[in-house]
């Protein structure tokens, strides 16, 4: 039976930050997505700027970028990274009343940017919720996942996620 080695535990089973000092600096990219599901009329208000709090997509985009930049402050053992690029994109989801949020993060570093992409997508989703919760408190944030990563030891791309 293969024993799983958890990289964030030392030989005594204690949490520690992984030492990436001997790794090579490479260009790394990660893309993450999530969905925000709401009443169709709430989505219409978001899309037309009809919410009392203003332009929710612009605020959520800025919040997502800021969230990606603050990832190491939120995730205890995550390395602080100097990000070269972060983008938050909003797309119509297949479900009625849903929007897909896609977050992309890039850096030249010794470790990947998966956590930054995931955090960016989630913070953007939380911001949409905050902006629209008075209209629709039953909004659901779902399906947060990594879509792809490149630039480290191994590349990853999900073919389909359901």
Which of 91, 89, 54, 53 shows the shortest CA–CA distance to 68? 89
Q: Are 110 and 27 in contact (CB under 8 A)?
A: no
Which of 32, 31, 27, 30 shows the shortest CA–CA distance to 151? 27
Cα separation, 135 vs 142, whole angstroms: 19
Q: Is 19 a catalytic residue?
A: no
Catalytic residue of the set 19, 87, 130, 155: 130
Nearest 10 degrees: CA dihedral of 18, 23, 28, 32?
-20
Q: What are phi and psi of 159, to 5 degrees?
A: -80, -40
What tokens were used for 119?
Answer: 């955090």
Active site residues: 130
């Amino acid at each position: 039976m293969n024993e799983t080695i958890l990289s964030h535990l030392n030989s005594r089973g204690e949490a520690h930050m992984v030492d990436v000092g001997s790794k090579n600096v490479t260009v790394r990219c990660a893309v993450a997505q999530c969905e925000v599901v709401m009443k169709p009329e709430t989505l219409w208000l978001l899309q037309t700027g009809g919410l009392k709090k203003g332009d929710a997509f612009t605020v959520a985009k800025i919040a997502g970028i800021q969230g990606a930049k603050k990832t190491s402050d939120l995730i205890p053992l995550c390395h602080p990274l100097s990000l070269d690029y972060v983008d938050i994109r909003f797309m119509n989801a297949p479900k009625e009343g849903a929007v897909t949020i896609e977050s992309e993060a890039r850096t030249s570093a010794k470790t990947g940017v998966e956590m930054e992409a995931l955090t960016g997508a989630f913070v953007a989703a939380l911001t949409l919720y905050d902006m629209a919760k008075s209209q629709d408190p039953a909004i659901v944030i779902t399906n947060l996942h990594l879509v792809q990563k490149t630039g480290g030891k191994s590349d990853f791309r999900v073919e389909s996620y359901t």
